[in-house]
Amino acid sequence: MSCSTDQRNWRSRCVSSWGGSVLDSPIPLHSGWELRTLGELVTKIGSGATPRGGKEVYVERGTPFIRSQNVVDHRMLSDDIAYIGDEAARALSGVTVRRGDVLLNITGDSIARCALVDPVLESARVNQHVAIIRTSNLLDPVFLQKYLVNPAFKRFMISHSSGATRKALTKRQIEQFPILVPPRSEQEAIAAVLGALDEKIAVNERVATTSDALASARHRWTAITSAGKFERLGRLAQVVVGGTPSRAKPEYWTGGTVHWINSGKANDFRVIQPSEMITEEGLANSSVKLMPPGATLIGITGATMGQISRLEITAGGSQNVAGVWSDDQALNDWLFYDIRFRVADLTKHASGGAQQHINKRVITELECRVPFSDDLREWSAGTAPLVKLSAQVLLENRALATLRDALLPQLMSGRLRVKDAEKIVEDAT
């Protein structure tokens, strides 16, 4: 393979051994790194299929079946993993994942999202929207995953995807991806630096979910064993439904400093960053209402209807999200868990045809059970530290992810030495 570097625009051109096609590398060449095609560095690139019958063949227990929604950058979401039976698994035996495989979403809105296989999902199968990339001994899989999520390379993948109505990456395109390959020892060093941040983020996520589970268990135990009363939510807390500033007015969005969330954030375990930013002018000239940290978020329309999350930043929300909060911190924390427990009492009153909706009146009239004051304070004394810990570690994760995403392109471009990155990560963790 012959390569040349255009230093003026930091782009490298590489003549592929397949058919003489010319590839452009979005990442500049630098000393000691070799430009190769991905196909030369892997032993497998392949995607699966949806078993005949689609969702109807999913089973409660069986072989894990990885879909595109399970693959996000840097990690996998296993809460929504589907399972298939033995016959379907045998039909997809050619797309069985192994430890160390890199998974890349290759179609639709989630195209180019990339993660390593979660070890607990070893021997899972993948559907047609996910490609398995299995590296040879020339390429460290963690290094490859980080290389593919580098913003410059992600833009490259999306720009080279094909399809008139639905973007897609083909196996042929993936094989011809231009990859700058440092010596294996340097690959592993870069992978270790960035992997340390991923590991810390993963530990924090486990701390957050465990703390939340303990707080939820304390809520259920207190609800069962303590005296209390039912009260309409509208009498206990502030309930608001938000809005969206006009998209036709750039001054409502450009240069914004106010956090704003859309309904998709209701899917988050905790909301620690906004969907977008709006301006003070956009806030003043719309029905957006600011909600404080600790507010309970309720998805009230469409796909996120009935999803419950907790806001950990000050933010306004769209018209598809309701916010609930009390100035009494003990009551506020209690209501988050009580609303989450009673979400079926909200969704059963949804109205509308194809687009189901929970209106504000349904939320304000939700009957919540609240312990009498002494029991509520006792519950809060043991639960508030758990709620606080969950928020703290997830906010720390936001900072760690920001650091990782800043270091990644610097390491991949050679502008930052591994030793310097190691010191930065050590100081941060």
Q: Which of 148, 164, 182 is the C-terminal boundary of a domain?
A: 182
pLDDT confidence bin for 22, thresholds 50/70/90: very low
Q: What is the CA radius of gyration of the chain?
A: 25
* pLDDT value of residue 57: 81
Q: What pLDDT digit, counting tens, does each position of 82-110 carry? A: 999 998 899 889 899 999 999 999 998 89
Collapse the DSSP code of 296 into the 3-class scheme (helix H, G, I; strand E, B; otherwise coil) and give the result.
strand
Are 55 and 167 members of one domain? Answer: yes
Amino acid present at 246? S
Q: Strands 258-261, 315-317: parallel, antiparallel or unpaired by DSSP?
A: parallel
User: Which residue has better confidence, 243 or 355?
Assistant: 243
Residue 23 has pLDDT above 70, yes or no: no
Alpha helix positions (H), 96-167: 141-149, 151-160
- 257/157 same-domain check: no
State whether 258 and 129 are in the same domain: no
Same domain, 253 and 149: no
Q: Which of 371, 393, 411 is the last residue of a domain?
A: 371
Are 47 and 169 contacting, i.e. CB atoms less than 8 angstroms apart? no
Residue 404 backbone dihedrals phi, psi, to 5 degrees: -55, -45
- Phi and psi of 423, rounded to 5°? -65, -40
Q: Which of 20-24, 190-194, 333-337, 363-367 has the lowest mean pLDDT?
A: 20-24
pLDDT category, 353, cuts 50, 70, 90?
Answer: confident
| Same-domain pairing of 52 and 154 | yes
**Domain end position, chosen among 123, 149, 182:** 182
47, part of any domain: yes
Nearest Cα neighbor of 107 from 87, 85, 130 is 130
Higher pLDDT, 9 or 227: 227
What pLDDT sits at residue 165?
Answer: 65
**Amino acid symbol at 154:** K
pLDDT per residue as tens digits for the range 250-294: 999 999 999 999 999 999 999 999 999 999 999 999 999 999 999
Task: Return all residues near 27 (Cβ < 8 A) that are at least 6 apart.
Answer: 12, 150, 152, 153, 180, 412, 413
pLDDT(28) > 80: no
Q: What would the pLDDT profile of 40-75 be if each residue is shown by its tens digit?
A: 999 999 998 888 777 778 999 999 999 999 999 999
Arithmetic mean of pLDDT over the chain: 90
Please name the residue ranges forming H helices in 167-295: 171-175, 184-225, 233-236, 280-284
Q: Which residue has the tokens 């135990």?
A: 221
- The stretch 228-235 carries a mean pLDDT of 97
pLDDT of residue 18: 37
Pick from 79, 392, 397, 373: which is nearest to 212 by CA?
Answer: 392
* Pair (176, 233) in one structural domain: no
Does residue 346 register a pLDDT over 90? yes
User: What DSSP element (H or E) covers 339?
Assistant: helix 329-341
Judge whether 142 and 97 are in contact, CB under 8 Å. no
Residues 157 and 264 in one domain: no
Rounded CA-CA distance 103/330 in Å is 43
Determine what percent of the chain is predicted with pLDDT higher than 90.
Answer: 77
Residue, of 24 and 332, whose pLDDT is higher: 332
Average pLDDT of the residues in 304-322? 96
Over residues 240-255, mean pLDDT: 96
Q: Taking a C-beta distance cutoff of 8 angstroms, is the pair 179, 36 a contact?
A: yes
- The number of domains in the chain is 2
Task: Give the domain extent around 314.
Answer: 228-371
| Tens digit of each residue's pLDDT (9 = 90 or more) over 170-190 | 999 999 999 999 999 999 999
Is 407 inside any structural domain? no
Predicted local distance difference test score (pLDDT) of residue 56? 78
Same domain, 15 and 160: yes
Q: Residue holding tokens 């590991």? A: 199
Q: Are 259 and 313 in contact (CB under 8 A)?
A: yes
pLDDT value of position 290: 97
Q: ∠197-203-207 over CA atoms, to 5°?
A: 140
> With contact defined as beta carbons under 8 Å apart, do 211 and 251 qualify?
no
CATH code, 142: 3.90.220.20
Is residue 175 located within the same domain as residue 51?
A: yes
Residue 414 binned pLDDT confidence (cut-offs 50, 70, 90):
confident
Which amino acid is residue 282, in one-letter code? G
- What does the alpha-carbon distance between residue 170 and residue 38 come to, in Å, rounded to a whole number? 13
The sign one gets for the Cα dihedral 272, 276, 277, 278 is negative
